[in-house]
């Protein structure tokens, strides 16, 4: 069985478990919406316009929600004691990583898909074709972020205070993509032409390639005894 096929099977299994209980999806989405709302209430309505904050808030929300979403992946395994089973089976570690990553990416994307329209609504973002590009940037950034998150959550779940540790480990790695993603979003919402954004896109692409590679190489070391 090819690596890709095994990976897809693993991802499908993960997502199936998710679909049966759905609590993680509901909770992660609720969390994202709450972040949106926290900023609305935390700012002074008189002096700070929501539209000015919109790009920053989008990326803060994505970053924080990703952390929540990533944590559930391995907690799930631990609860179902399924990881030991998978590790015993002759599954290539690369397939396990790929499967986990795809499941995480799907989950994070789903949360973002639900949150995105609410962001547009609450922050008064103009509905233009530029929003497709914003969504594309979100997907691009998520690829690298979830790759790193897959490795880090595999480590964090084996430690005490896992929920606290994962954000502390991940956020420093998220700052560079958040910066470039937010920059792109600001320009897109301002109607700037796409060619001004190539620098940011290239950075995000490079980041994704670098960290997806590193994550794939390092994941086996984390899960193997």
Partner 1 sequence: MPDAASAERQIRRGRAVTLIALLGLAVLYVMALQFTPPERTMGLVQKLYYVHPPAAYAMQLAFLTTGLCSLLYLLLRDERFDLFAEASAEVGMVMGMIVVITGPIWGRPAWGVWWAWEPRLTFTVLELLVFGGYFALRGAVRDPQERAKFAAVLGMMALVLVPFNHLTVYYFASQHPEPVALRAGKPALPFEMLRTFLTGFGVFTVLYIGLAMQRYGIGVRAAHQEVADA
Q: Could you list the residues that contact partner 1 (CB under 8 A)?
A: 148, 151-152, 155, 158-161, 165, 168-169, 171-173, 175-176, 179-180, 183, 203, 206-207, 210-211, 214, 218, 221-222
- Rounded to a whole number of angstroms, the minimum distance from the CB of residue 114 to partner 1 is 29
- Rounded to a whole number of angstroms, the minimum distance from the CB of residue 133 to partner 1 is 19
Q: Closer to partner 1 by CB, 31 or 211: give it.
A: 211
- Rounded to a whole number of angstroms, the minimum distance from the CB of residue 96 to partner 1 is 16
- Rounded to a whole number of angstroms, the minimum distance from the CB of residue 17 to partner 1 is 26
Q: Closer to partner 1 by CB, 31 or 152: give it.
A: 152
Q: Closer to partner 1 by CB, 32 or 178: give it.
A: 178
- Rounded to a whole number of angstroms, the minimum distance from the CB of residue 121 to partner 1 is 29
Phi-psi region of 161 (alpha: psi -120 to 50; beta: other; left: phi over 0): left
Contact 111, 27 (CB under 8 A): no
Say which residue the tokens 């539209």 belong to: 51
Q: Measured between alpha carbons, how far is 113 from 13 in angstroms, rounded to an integer?
A: 21
Q: Closer to partner 1 by CB, 13 or 176: give it.
A: 176
Q: Closer to partner 1 by CB, 119 or 180: give it.
A: 180
- Rounded to a whole number of angstroms, the minimum distance from the CB of residue 165 to partner 1 is 6
Q: Closer to partner 1 by CB, 5 or 163: give it.
A: 163
């Amino acid at each position: 069985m090819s690596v890709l096929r095994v990976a897809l099977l693993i991802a499908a299994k993960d997502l199936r478990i998710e679909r049966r209980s759905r609590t993680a999806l509901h909770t992660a989405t609720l969390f994202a919406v709450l972040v949106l709302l926290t900023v609305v209430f935390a700012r002074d309505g008189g002096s700070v316009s929501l539209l000015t904050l919109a790009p920053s808030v989008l990326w803060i929300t994505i970053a924080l929600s990703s952390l929540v979403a990533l944590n559930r992946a391995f907690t799930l395994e631990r609860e179902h004691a399924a990881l030991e089973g998978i590790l015993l089976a002759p599954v290539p570690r690369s397939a396990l990583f790929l499967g986990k990553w795809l499941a995480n990416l799907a989950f994070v994307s789903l949360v973002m898909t639900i949150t995105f329209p609410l962001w547009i609504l609450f922050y008064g973002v103009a509905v233009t074709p530029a929003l497709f590009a914003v969504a594309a940037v979100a997907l691009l950034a998520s690829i690298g972020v979830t790759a790193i998150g897959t490795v880090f959550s595999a480590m964090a779940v084996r430690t005490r205070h896992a929920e606290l540790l994962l954000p502390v480990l991940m956020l420093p790695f998220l700052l560079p993509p958040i910066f470039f993603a937010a920059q792109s979003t600001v320009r897109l919402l301002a109607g700037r032409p796409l060619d001004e954004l190539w620098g940011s896109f290239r950075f995000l692409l490079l980041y994704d390639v670098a960290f997806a590679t590193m994550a794939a190489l390092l994941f086996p070391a984390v899960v193997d005894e």
